[in-house]
Amino acid sequence: MQLCHFHAGLDKPLFLIAGPCVIESEAMAMNTAAALKTLTDELGIPFIYKSSFDKANRSSTKSFRGLGIEEGLRILQKVKDEIGVPVLTDVHEDSPLDEVASVVNVMQTPAFLVRQTNFIQNVCKQGLPVNIKKGQFQAPWDMEQVVAKAREVGNENIMVCDRGTSFGYNTLVSDMRGLAQMRSTGCPVVFDATHSVQQPGGQGMTSGGQREMVPVLARAAIAAGISGLFMETHPDPSKALSDGPNMWPLGNLRPLLETMKELDDVVKKHGFIENSLLG
Amino acid sequence: MQLCHFHAGLDKPLFLIAGPCVIESEAMAMNTAAALKTLTDELGIPFIYKSSFDKANRSSTKSFRGLGIEEGLRILQKVKDEIGVPVLTDVHEDSPLDEVASVVNVMQTPAFLVRQTNFIQNVCKQGLPVNIKKGQFQAPWDMEQVVAKAREVGNENIMVCDRGTSFGYNTLVSDMRGLAQMRSTGCPVVFDATHSVQQPGGQGMTSGGQREMVPVLARAAIAAGISGLFMETHPDPSKALSDGPNMWPLGNLRPLLETMKELDDVVKKHGFIENSLLG
Amino acid sequence: MQLCHFHAGLDKPLFLIAGPCVIESEAMAMNTAAALKTLTDELGIPFIYKSSFDKANRSSTKSFRGLGIEEGLRILQKVKDEIGVPVLTDVHEDSPLDEVASVVNVMQTPAFLVRQTNFIQNVCKQGLPVNIKKGQFQAPWDMEQVVAKAREVGNENIMVCDRGTSFGYNTLVSDMRGLAQMRSTGCPVVFDATHSVQQPGGQGMTSGGQREMVPVLARAAIAAGISGLFMETHPDPSKALSDGPNMWPLGNLRPLLETMKELDDVVKKHGFIENSLLG
Amino acid sequence: MQLCHFHAGLDKPLFLIAGPCVIESEAMAMNTAAALKTLTDELGIPFIYKSSFDKANRSSTKSFRGLGIEEGLRILQKVKDEIGVPVLTDVHEDSPLDEVASVVNVMQTPAFLVRQTNFIQNVCKQGLPVNIKKGQFQAPWDMEQVVAKAREVGNENIMVCDRGTSFGYNTLVSDMRGLAQMRSTGCPVVFDATHSVQQPGGQGMTSGGQREMVPVLARAAIAAGISGLFMETHPDPSKALSDGPNMWPLGNLRPLLETMKELDDVVKKHGFIENSLLG
């Protein structure tokens, strides 16, 4: 499908959705967007900048939730205009959807809200491409019903995104089979490599993360076969105001992207032999 | 804690929250409420009537979602006034909370929305007792942070409710340890015996259920030790407009309640020897 | 079915299999068996003494493995003769089955070995009652094939026992539905309340345990409906040479058994309403 | 480490362990070994032939279990001598270990038996390289204790192999993080791509499989980073006497191996950026 300025699909090069979890300041947003644009331009990777204006579902109300929607959208607009990259943000049930849609290029829905029919349909009605995250409590094939609901309101530009599945307590597992199974939705499949290494709850006030597993899962997902990779990154994750333990350091991104790009080329050149066997 | 016209707690008799999943008609609501009141009065079980005015998170938009909020609240008011039982309903992010709160005695939040901080706090601000369902993607101890958020807005009348935990794909498991672990929240613990036997997704357009396991899990939970039991029931589940496969037939409820009542008496008479060992 | 000196079944009183995980010394075995006999006689609970002569599957070779088979069997014989209780022990692939069978009243097979066809059949050929533990990696209904293999060699005195199911890493969960589902084997169903609270691996050299959950799960299983309860107990679990973290202190056993006995009476008096719905 | 005629490790090219699940006949063994040797020689992939002489743990005793150990070992010897490939087979608790060790080049232990200390150590005492499969009920880090036991008897040529982890009932999931975590054992890590797609039990008399997911998981594991890949293959899986649903058709192996080889080259050329972050 057409996504911003490029095409997305298993027969197209991998695209990247990346940025800091939450907008911490205008300077930080502009700097990270500029660095990511430079890097992805050099490597020839289609890129969408991601950052949140509000984190509605923090473990504790003592955690940073963002600069607020007005300031957040102003900064995203500036990133879009001055850095020249498309921008994506996530919306929640109390987000002013039309206001957000007037600024961003792509909308994203949170995993926890995937079963909220009104919400999913209201987001999709905005007419922008939507990245729908699979619930941690869902099977890959459950996304077919979700996509059917999304399409009912006339939006054909839907992506499905895996950010892990509940596996015992306070643990997620990434089932690489799911990335292939979700092809049955007809949507580009995206793998979220940084939320997939979260250790939800279980640490008291905040969630933990296994940053060292980001490259392992990112490489695995690309070799399994995906259209896009989602990854949160930060100049200094240890100081990040949200999701520090699972973000990838911006300074270490280049070698990871180089490997990913080359893997994606190899896999897509050879094609997906399983597709002849998938139902 | 004081809950409607009775006290709830591990040192108080088991209370029951029961009713049809969704309000299908005024006649059906009145009839089921009357039957449940008679039955629980005879058995001496404190009772709260439950029914939903809207099912926001159906698997498919082709499923029945309810009569609408105005008609639903009118019927709940009538049940409260004419049958003389307290009523509970579940709210969603787009529910008019104050309007609902002006009718019902207890509010309930859905498992999928347990991590939506604004929503949970807005519900708790209404000042009514709130039954908060643990997310299927959460560990029992994760409810401590949820209850902390709920109490931050000044509501001390919080219950926590288990309706199962994700266990592989399209399956829930009820960990009876969790009912004891959630005592650390200081809140009455409720077990939802009918949603716990749901088989979420996986059947295409609707969710399945294992009705035959409702008595097994209900008995087990009561023996593990709980303050209240939640159970959806219907005069003819095979014709129910929602959640038929997991509701318990109203006509078979008496023997189940008799067993439950007697088990609860035995367990609470002996006390909970594990409490001296729990952290 | 006839089991030692009593009948076992959902329409018979709960029986108890209990004792220290491993035979630590003759004095300790005799003392615990005598204490357990006195206690169960007083409460009217049919009783089988359990202890192992060898722990083949310790996490580390540095852990205590037992006094050896000859000394172990000599002590079990003495317990049987002098205390006057039937005895059960677990066997492994390298156990001299006929030698063990000449001493004990009941044999038991470990969960990890449930799929070893030769082994299961060789044990069952000894002609004694056999308690077969479900693998942690198995579904309850998988036990039907296991029981079919056991019966093929002509042994009809088979029990099936649940000691938990893998749930994420280093965690077991007890699915109370499984206790009802395993009734379809036609065998008495036993719940192992102490291994079910093990935290396998994950602590380096030894496995951990949640002793405080033993009463919670034991009560729940009895209310779900079982024929027998298996429970390891020790005079001082903190000094036990094996499985200390999950054994129940012998000195605290009486109140737990009193509760269990009364729960079992109530549940079996009312009957199992689900049996009319189970396939 | 040195493994047969090549070196195995994350800095060496991927090796392949492949062959039919069970030796069905001499002709079939010779033909598949010859075909696999030709194919792997052409692609430059170090190769070990795998086939079992006995399947001890079939779901049903009605399933084919093999030609017997004498005939099985005779055929493996012939494959080794006449085709000129090293051979691997799996052993069980009742296997004559020295007899097997006198024929094969590599021994393999089943996942279900990973906690049987005596067995693991007896196999390792034979002095051959051993491929130890992680239990489906184990976490990746639990393999450290297993490897410690194996090394205690003086064998340093140990490999660890992942064939999936229990995920709900009758389902396995392959956690790609585990392949990186098991590097901490210091052993070459092998991924078993065909048993990982088994659907254990749950189909009554036999286990099912998702053959279409073999390429997905094989590619993902190679990109995650492994030393070797294990894969069962058969000329006509639909007629295989064992494990048909999860074996990969021999005739479709070349394109899969070509992709795998190229992915392995790319990944190992770039190195494993996570190793600097792993504990």
Question: Which of A197, A267, A273, A278 has the most D C-beta neighbours within 10 Å, making it the best mutation to test the interface with D?
Answer: A273
Around B260, how many Cα atoms within 13 Å sit in the side-chain half-sphere?
33
Which residues of chain A are under the pLDDT cut of 50? none
Cβ-based interface (< 8 Å): residues of C facing B = 167, 173-177, 179-180, 197, 210-217, 219-225, 252, 255-256, 258-259, 262-263, 266-267, 270, 272-274, 277-278
Please answer yes or no on whether A136 and B166 come within 8 Å at the CB atom.
yes
More reliable by pLDDT, B7 or B60: B7
Each residue of B108-129: b (16+ CB within 10 Å) or e?
bbbbbbbbbbbbbbbbbbbebb
Phi first, then psi: give them for residue A177, nearest 5 degrees: -60, -35
For position B215, what pLDDT does the model report? 98
One DSSP character per residue, C163-225 reads --EE-STT-EE--HHHHHHGGGGTSPEEEETTGGGEEEEEETTEEEE-GGGHHHHHHHHHHH-
Closest of B135, B194, B176 to residue B274, by C-alpha: B176
Are B157 and B125 spatial neighbours (Cβ–Cβ below 8 Å)? no
CB atoms within 10 A of CB D136: 25
C160 close to C187: Cβ distance less than 8 angstroms: yes
Is residue B3 within a helix (H) or strand (E), and if so which, with residue range? strand B2-3
Per-residue DSSP letter, D74: H
Q: Is A277–D211 a contact, with Cβ atoms under 8 angstroms apart?
A: yes
Residue of chain D minimizing CA distance to A213: D177
Amino acid type, B86: P
Identify residues of D whose CB sits under 8 angstroms from chain A CBs. 167, 173-177, 179-180, 197, 210-217, 219-225, 252, 255-256, 258-259, 262-263, 266-267, 270, 272-274, 277-278
Q: Which pLDDT belongs to residue D28?
A: 97
Residue B38's region, left for phi above 0, alpha for psi from -120 to 50, else beta, is alpha
- Main-chain phi, psi angles of C2, to 5 degrees: -75, 130
Three-class secondary structure of residue B248 per DSSP:
strand
Dihedral pair phi/psi, residue A153, rounded to 5°:
-90, 10
The predicted-structure confidence for C107-162, as pLDDT tens digits, reads as follows 999 999 999 999 999 999 999 999 999 999 999 999 999 999 999 999 999 999 99
Touching A: which chains, 3+ CB pairs < 8 A? B, C, D
Average pLDDT (C74-101) is: 97
> Could you tell me which chain B residue has the CA closest to the CA of C174?
B175
What is the distance between the alpha carbons of residues C256 and C277, in angstroms, rounded to a whole number?
Answer: 31
In whole angstroms, what is the distance from residue A165 CA to residue A142 CA?
Answer: 12
> Which residues share a beta bridge with D22?
D52
| ipTM for this model | 0.95
- Give the per-residue pLDDT at A274: 95
Beta pairing, strands C130-133 & C158-162 = parallel
- Check CB contact under 8 Å for B175 and C180: no
How do beta strands C206-209 and C228-234 pair? Answer: unpaired
Interface of C with A (CB under 8 A): 167-169, 171
Is the Cβ pair A215, D174 closer than 8 Å?
Answer: no
Average pLDDT on B118-123 reads 96
CA distance to partner chain B, nearest, from residue A32 (Å): 28
Whether residue D137 and residue C135 make contact (CB cut-off 8 A), yes or no, is yes
Nearest chain C Cα to B265, which residue?
Answer: C263
Strand partners, D202: D207
User: Residue C73's pLDDT is what?
Assistant: 97
Q: How far apart are CA B277 and CA C212, in angstroms?
A: 5
Q: A171–C167: do the CB atoms touch at under 8 Å?
A: no
- The reported pLDDT for the residue numbered C67 is 87
pLDDT confidence of residue D204: 60
- Coil/strand/helix, residue B200: strand
Angstrom distance (rounded) from CA D279 to CA D111 = 26
Residue B93 clears pLDDT 80, i.e. is over it: yes
Output the pLDDT for position D145: 96
What secondary structure, in 3-state letters, does chain A show?
CEECCEECCCCCCCEEEEECCECCCHHHHHHHHHHHHHHHHHHCCCEEEECECCCCCCCCCCCCCCCCHHHHHHHHHHHHHHHCCCEEEECCCCCCHHHHHCCCCEEEECHHHCCCHHHHHHHHCCCCCEEEECCCCCCHHHHHHHHHHHHHCCCCCEEEEECCEECCCCCEECEHHHHHHHHHHCCCEEEECCHHHEEEEEECCEEEECHHHHHHHHHHHHHHCCCEEEEEEECCHHHCCCCHHHCEEHHHHHHHHHHHHHHHHHHHHHCCHHHHCCC
CATH class, A2-271 region:
alpha beta
Q: Give the confidence band of B54 by pLDDT, cuts at 50, 70, 90.
A: confident
Q: Do C220 and B216 touch (CB under 8 A)?
A: no
Identity of residue C256: L
Mean pLDDT of B127-151: 97
Closest chain A residue to C169, measured at CA: A168
C-alpha pair distances (Å), B178 with each of B163, B271, C169, C192, D278: 11, 18, 17, 18, 32
Name the closest residue on chain A to residue D167, using Cα atoms: A167
Residue B205 scores a pLDDT above 70: no
pLDDT in tens, C166-193: 999 999 999 999 999 999 999 999 999 9
Contact criterion met (CB < 8 Å) for D167 and B168 = yes
Residue ranges of chain C whose CB lies within 8 Å of a chain D CB:
56-61, 92-94, 112-113, 115-119, 121, 135-139, 141-142, 145, 148-149, 152, 165-166, 169-170, 200-202, 204-205
Categorize the per-residue pLDDT at C206 as very low, low, confident or very high, splitting at 50, 70 and 90.
low
**Regions in chain D scoring below 70 on pLDDT:** 56-60, 202-206, 279
pLDDT the model gives residue D9: 97
Q: Which two tokens stand for residue B138?
A: 């959460």
Residue B122 Cα, gap to closest chain C Cα (Å): 34
End-to-end distance of chain C based on CA atoms, in angstroms? 22
What's the topology of domain C2-270?
TIM Barrel (3.20.20)
Token pair listed for C59: 């996490």
Instruction: Tell whether the model's pLDDT for residue B196 goes beyond 60.
Output: yes
| Interface touch D220/A223, C-beta < 8 Å | yes
**pLDDT value at residue D276:** 84
B interface with A, Cβ–Cβ below 8 Å: 56-61, 92-94, 112-113, 115-119, 121, 135-139, 141-142, 145, 148-149, 152, 165-166, 169-170, 200-202, 204-205
Decide: B222 and B229 in contact? Cβ < 8 Å: yes
Give C139 to chain D, closest Cα distance, Å. Answer: 5
Q: What distance in Å separates residue A185's CA from the closest CA in chain D?
A: 17
Listed range (B205-209, B267-271, D94-98, D164-168) with the worst mean pLDDT: B205-209
Smallest Cβ–Cβ distance between B142 and the set A61, A116, A201 belongs to A201
Q: How far is CA B58 from the centre of its chain?
A: 17
DSSP class of B6: E
Give the per-residue pLDDT at B202. 64
D186 SS3 class: coil
Look up the CATH superfamily of D2-272.
Answer: Aldolase class I (3.20.20.70)
Pairing type for strands B172-173 and B165-166 reads antiparallel
| Nearest CA distance, B242 vs chain C (angstrom) | 20
Asked whether C161 and C256 are in contact (CB, 8 A), the reply is no
Residue A257, pLDDT score: 98
CB count, 10 Å around CB of A218? 29
| Contact criterion met (CB below 8 Å) for D26 and D75 | yes
CA distances from C222 to B12, B86, C180, C261 (A): 22, 33, 11, 9
Q: Considering Cα of A148, then A172, then C137, then C15, what sign does the dihedral take?
A: negative
Angstrom distance (rounded) from CA D12 to CA D192: 18
pLDDT band of residue B155 (cuts 50, 70, 90) is very high
Place of tokens 């048909």: D244
Q: Give the residue on B whose Cα is nearest the Cα of D165.
A: B168
Q: A40, exposed or middle or buried, with CB in 10 Å at 0-12, 13-18, 19+? A: buried
Please choose, from the candidates B54, B158, B46, B45, the residue with its C-alpha nearest in 3D space to the C-alpha of residue B106.
B158
Mean pLDDT of B115-142: 97
* Residue A185: Cβ within 10 Å count: 22
Distance from CA of A244 to the nearest CA of B (A): 19
Question: Which of C100-104, C138-142, C245-249 bottoms out in mean pLDDT, i.e. has the lowest?
Answer: C245-249
pLDDT at B278: 77
Q: Rounded to the nearest 5 degrees, what angle is found at the Cα of C140, between the Cα atoms of C134 and C146?
A: 55
The rounded percent of chain B whose pLDDT value lies above 90 is 86
Q: In which element (H, E) is residue B159 found?
A: strand B158-162
